[in-house]
Structure 1
Amino acid sequence: MTRADVGIEDLEALRVPLTGFCYRMLGSAADTDDAVQETLARAYRHLASFDPARGRLSTWVYRIAGNVCIDMLRGARRRALAVDMGPAAENGDLGAPLPAFRFVEPMPDARLFGVTDPAEQVVGRETVRLAFLAALQRLSPRQRAALVLREVLAFSAQETAEILESTPASVNSAVQRARATLAADPPEPADVLDPHDAQQRELLDRYVAAFQAHDVDALARLLREDAASSMPPFAWWLSGASRIAAAMAASDACAGDRLVPTAINGSPGFGQYRPGPDGALRPFALILLELRGGRVAHIVTFLGTAGRFTEFGLPERLPR
């Protein structure tokens, strides 16, 4: 490839992998969109300065993306999951909602993965899990970038050094420190979504059937004893199958709701639709399930996400 051969289509071909990189760095869907757009705009404006003889186009573009993300993270507060914000609730009092920037936000798999190799898809899904993203937030921006570039996106130490305008030794040191930080408090394990796994499909089908029938006993049987349930933007969360079942039984707010499957952060997800005054089913919330050992380990209901349903390939309304 010569400089003259590079065009806007070559930059656009990097949009999906850039989205994955920026999302792992920022933990925010809206910020990721801004970062990717700014990266591609800067790359296009400065395309004449790209020299193929000095390295790959991807390395050059990721240097721009790294600078954009690190600039956006200056002074930013660490995003987290509700389960990381404090102890589990003792009752149903949700408290006041927190600002959106306090939480790791959901992202559709369709925007994050452009690979077709099953092994690469497994690795990709594991590294966009909510718990992994929340763990990345504990790292400094440069450590986060070094770890993602080296161990998720498979750039060499030399390429990563070029992207971060550093040295291979500094990159390796940053990766080692990042690994040590993550190992000291590793993310909770979960089963990666496998659309071809018959047992996973059966579990999810049973969950949908029990949810839509508002069958609390059936739902409780699908939960691990140590299951958690959270509802961003509230810091409130519940621990334990019995407490979650009791909360479900105490309210019929979800009676009549329907679930439509999607894939969120490498995990099974659903669009939750709720009947309106006219009976039409409209978007209400995105739900992510984390599975472990053939049971549901974590239910995350993202309230206030009705406006993002089309982004997840979900219809704007369902027939009655």
Structure 2
Amino acid sequence: MEGGTKVELMTADLLARARAGQEDAFRELIEPYRRELQVHCYRMLGSFQDAEDVLQETLLAAWQGLGGFEGRASMRTWLYRIATNRCLNARRAAGRRPAQEWNVPGVQAPPEPTSLGEVVWLQPFPDALLEGTSSVPPGPEARYELTESISLAFIAALQMLPPRQVAVLVLRDVLGFAAAETAEMLDSTVDSVNSALKRARATLHGRPAQADPTPAAPSPGERATVAKFVSAYESADVDALVALLTDDVFISMPPMPFEYQGKEVVGRFFGHLFGSGRRFELVPTRANGGPAFGTYLRGATGLRHATGLITVTVRGERVCALSRFEDSVLSYFGLPRTLSPR
């Protein structure tokens, strides 16, 4: 009890100093929540850049509205209310990133895709920024583990829901807020929240099979499969790559809408990618709870130029999903645009 009282007194002191206009006190007050708010905005918006922009809007709104914080809810709940409503505004606004034409340098138009994706604004989220977010356990209403709730498949599925359903499902099933708390955050009623949650769950339950796999914690089996994938990719061994794929393997490549599903068509895609003697080097990182790699094209001078980032989802001992992103996302992972000759 004494420790809790000490924390409460420290928080009250920070709050008083922040209300008096001390920016350092405000930064210290909200710092424990910054990372989890960033992840929350990312789940809502599906874009790392959009999430960062809305996070900054949230913190500015909190700073400007601190005088109105009455303490009826916790500081964390108050911040989530601001962030959620800013995300809803962003989801409803026109101007989400449009689809791009095929723009892989040096590679002509790819084979005919099996489908065209709608969530072209999807971006990966660096695992390094997830550190510390699990220190706040989700509430008793939560249904999803961290790895599932940050997976690219789950994030993409959320983007297909209406904005309000996304907010309700994330607040209730991911973060574990109670129905009454969620209704308060959204200026709604418990009945309306429960209805939106029921519809969102039904939609996610019926989503396409390729969205089902979720990243697991790294295991010896996953590491072995990923090592084989890297070896085959870097040596441009299409047969070895195809042998690692599940029959229903799925490739997406936001912001380009092209999607490929099935071993045969994915094999043709890789054959096209490695055509004309193109060879790549993969630099490891982690995104959305799973393995990912910066991809670098080897040049004649030894200089290697970034072409993008690829995420790998493993099911059993096979690769079941791949997502390729443009090279602009590499900075989120601390990866350079070029690698010097060895």
- TM-score (norm. length: structure 2): 0.79
Larger Rg: 2
Match of 2:303 in 1: 280
Where in structure 2 are the equivalents of 1:119-134 lying within 5 Å? 123-134=145-156
Q: Does 1:107 align with 2:125?
A: yes
- The whole-number CA distance in structure 2 between the counterparts of 1:126 and 1:274 is 32
- The whole-number CA distance in structure 1 between the counterparts of 2:158 and 2:118 is 18
- The whole-number CA distance in structure 1 between the counterparts of 2:112 and 2:207 is 27
C-alpha contact (below 8 Å) 1:99/1:233 kept by paired residues: no
C-alpha contact (below 8 Å) 2:36/2:133 kept by paired residues: no
- The whole-number CA distance in structure 2 between the counterparts of 1:77 and 1:94 is 28
- The whole-number CA distance in structure 2 between the counterparts of 1:58 and 1:41 is 15
- The whole-number CA distance in structure 2 between the counterparts of 1:247 and 1:167 is 49
Cα offset, 1:193, TM superposition:
3.4
Q: Select 1:219's aligned residue among 241, 253, 263.
A: 241
Q: State the Cα deviation string for residues 134-192 of structure 1 (Å, max 9, x = none).
A: 22122221111111011111112222122112233322222112112222335622141
User: Mean alpha-carbon deviation: is it higher for 19-28 or for 169-178?
Assistant: 169-178
Q: Does 1:31 align with 2:50?
A: yes
Where in structure 2 are the equivalents of 1:42-53 lying within 5 Å? 42-52=61-71
Q: Where does the alignment leave 5 or more consecutive residues of structure 1 unmatched? A: 83-90
C-alpha contact (below 8 Å) 1:213/1:255 kept by paired residues: no
- The whole-number CA distance in structure 2 between the counterparts of 1:101 and 1:222 is 27
User: Closer, same or farther in 2 for the Cα pair 1:244/1:315, shift >3 Å?
Assistant: same
C-alpha contact (below 8 Å) 1:19/1:112 kept by paired residues: no
Q: Does 1:56 align with 2:79?
A: no
Query: What is the identity percentage for the equivalent residue pairs of Structure 1 and Structure 2?
Result: 40
Match of 2:41 in 1: 22
- TM-score (norm. length: structure 1): 0.84
RMSD of Structure 2 on Structure 1 (CA): 3.0
Match of 1:86 in 2: none
Cα offset, 1:212, TM superposition:
0.9
Amino acid at match of 2:61: R
Match of 1:87 in 2: none
Cα offset, 1:228, TM superposition:
2.2
Cα offset, 1:128, TM superposition:
2.0
C-alpha contact (below 8 Å) 2:248/2:263 kept by paired residues: yes
Cα offset, 1:211, TM superposition:
0.8
Q: Select 1:199's aligned residue among 209, 213, 221.
A: 221
Cα offset, 1:24, TM superposition:
1.1
- The whole-number CA distance in structure 1 between the counterparts of 2:318 and 2:40 is 30
SS of 1:235's equivalent?
Answer: strand
Where in structure 2 are the equivalents of 1:127-276 lying within 5 Å? 127-185=149-207, 188-195=211-218, 197-250=219-272, 251-252=274-275, 255-276=278-299
User: Mean alpha-carbon deviation: is it higher for 33-42 or for 269-278?
Assistant: 269-278
Cα offset, 1:44, TM superposition:
1.2
- The whole-number CA distance in structure 1 between the counterparts of 2:245 and 2:99 is 19
Cα offset, 1:13, TM superposition:
2.1
Cα offset, 1:113, TM superposition:
4.6
Cα offset, 1:99, TM superposition:
12
Amino acid at match of 1:283: A
C-alpha contact (below 8 Å) 2:111/2:268 kept by paired residues: no
User: Closer, same or farther in 2 for the Cα pair 1:69/1:255, shift >3 Å?
Assistant: same
C-alpha contact (below 8 Å) 1:270/1:287 kept by paired residues: yes
Tell me the number of residue pairs that the alignment of Structure 1 and Structure 2 aligns: 304
